[in-house]
């Protein structure tokens, strides 16, 4: 069974990788890919907190 901490660690890794990509790349497409990683990290946070903290649908709706 996955715990909230594992989702938060995954989200932090994705956010860090996306931030590193945005800072170091000069190519526009690569920067957009980094921004996409950052947004995916935020979506994982929304869904994880929705599942483990409130048990409501709002986090899933925010991710969509």
Task: State the CATH number of the domain containing residue 33.
Answer: 1.10.287.3510
Domain count, the chain: 1
pLDDT for 63:
63
Q: Report d(CA 25, CA 60) in Å as an integer.
A: 31
pLDDT for 64:
65
pTM of the model: 0.82
Domain that holds residue 58: 4-63
Query: What count of other Cβ atoms lies within 10 Å of the Cβ of residue 5?
Result: 10
pLDDT for 28:
95
Mean pLDDT of the chain: 88
> For the segment 36-61, what is each residue's pLDDT rounded down to a tens digit?
999 999 999 988 888 888 776 666 67
Q: Report d(CA 44, CA 14) in Å as an integer.
A: 10
């Amino acid at each position: 069974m996955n715990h909230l901490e594992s989702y938060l660690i995954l989200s932090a890794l994705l956010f860090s990788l996306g931030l590193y990509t945005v800072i170091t790349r000069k190519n526009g497409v690569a920067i957009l890919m980094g921004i996409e990683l950052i947004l995916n990290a935020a979506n994982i946070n929304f869904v994880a907190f929705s599942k483990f903290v409130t048990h409501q649908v709002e986090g899933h709706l925010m991710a969509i």
